[in-house]
């Protein structure tokens, strides 16, 4: 019979444990759990660091990509500006000779390109209501192919490209260029006509009327302000 004996390595001893020592014994299972927790914490720390590193790499790559895109955009902008500058230098200008030939001139760098439109300028007139200070209509007289003279009438309140083109097409006046260049020449020819136009006051109707020059008579064969818009 053992009297408060303790078996240690199959040896019985009568030595008693000091108070509290039973709670200080190392449980091998608890130690293993502790080690596992430490390893898990270290793995978690490593994963967090890896994610942080990857995030920094992505931010760096995005920054580099943004810098590259900005550089590309800057190069494209410079190229477009150079092209625009070259186009400005090669802008086409129309002029009219004393005999009515419409000259096309394009100045570009070290060369001058000259040509001639297939029309001849005969004359142009700005029509005013006899009481107004601003013109209401424009008449442009040209000679087109086959020596045919035509008059083009424009309502100056409807000078958008659609209406301008309609007048040219109706009169059969073409320059033989592509759509954009044809449009450019139409616009420039009208500007040329306006700059060279004569001033014509139109009465409201046929018969007697009075303007700043005094009392006048509008004969039946004369155009009136209302009739001019029927031609536009």
User: What's residue 230's pLDDT?
Assistant: 87
Of the two residues 37 and 167, the one the predictor is more confident about is 167
Ranked by mean pLDDT, the top range of 17-21, 33-37, 60-64, 124-128 is 124-128
Strands (E), the chain: 6-8, 11-13, 92-96, 101-108, 111-129, 137-144, 148-155, 198-202, 207-211, 214-218
User: What's residue 59's pLDDT?
Assistant: 73
Ranked by mean pLDDT, the top range of 6-10, 88-92, 200-204 is 200-204
Asked whether residue 33 carries a pLDDT value surpassing 80, the answer given is: no
User: What's residue 212's pLDDT?
Assistant: 78
Asked whether residue 188 carries a pLDDT value surpassing 70, the answer given is: yes
Tens digits of residue pLDDT in 91-125: 788 999 999 999 998 765 455 667 899 999 999 99
User: What's residue 23's pLDDT?
Assistant: 46
Nearest to 140 by CA among 204, 192, 200: 192
Asked whether residue 10 carries a pLDDT value surpassing 50, the answer given is: no
Nearest to 171 by CA among 133, 140, 194, 136: 140
User: What's residue 182's pLDDT?
Assistant: 92
15-25 burial by CB neighbour count: b if 16+ within 10 A, else e? eeeeeeeeeee
Q: Looking at residues 192-197, what average pLDDT do you find?
A: 95
Separation CA 17–CA 6 (nearest Å): 9
User: Which of 23-27, 41-45, 214-218 has the weakest average pLDDT?
Assistant: 23-27
User: What's residue 36's pLDDT?
Assistant: 53
Of the two residues 132 and 29, the one the predictor is more confident about is 132
User: What's residue 54's pLDDT?
Assistant: 73
Nearest to 112 by CA among 131, 134, 93: 93
User: What's residue 20's pLDDT?
Assistant: 47
- Pair type for strands 111-129 and 198-202: parallel
């Amino acid at each position: 019979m053992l009297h408060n004996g303790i078996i240690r390595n199959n040896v019985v001893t009568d030595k008693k444990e000091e108070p509290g020592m039973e709670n200080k014994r190392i449980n091998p299972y608890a130690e293993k759990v502790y080690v596992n927790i430490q390893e898990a914490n270290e793995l978690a720390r490593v994963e967090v660091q890896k994610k942080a590193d990857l995030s920094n790499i992505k931010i760096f790559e995005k920054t580099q990509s943004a810098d590259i895109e900005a550089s590309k955009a800057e190069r494209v902008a410079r190229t477009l500006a150079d092209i625009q500058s070259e186009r400005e230098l090669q802008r086409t200008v129309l002029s009219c000779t004393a005999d009515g030939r419409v000259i096309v001139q394009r100045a570009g760098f070290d060369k001058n390109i000259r040509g001639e439109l297939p029309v001849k300028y005969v004359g142009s007139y700005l029509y005013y209501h006899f009481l107004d200070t601003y013109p209401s209509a424009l008449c442009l007289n040209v000679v087109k192919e086959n020596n045919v003279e035509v008059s083009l009438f424009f309502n100056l309140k409807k000078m958008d490209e659609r209406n301008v083109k309609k007048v040219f097409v109706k009169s059969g006046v073409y320059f033989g260029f592509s759509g954009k260049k044809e449009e450019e020449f139409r616009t420039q020819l009208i500007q040329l006509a306006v700059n060279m136009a004569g001033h014509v006051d139109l009465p409201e109707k046929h018969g007697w009327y009075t303007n700043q020059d005094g009392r006048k008579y509008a004969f039946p064969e004369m155009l009136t302000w209302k009739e001019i818009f029927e031609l536009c």
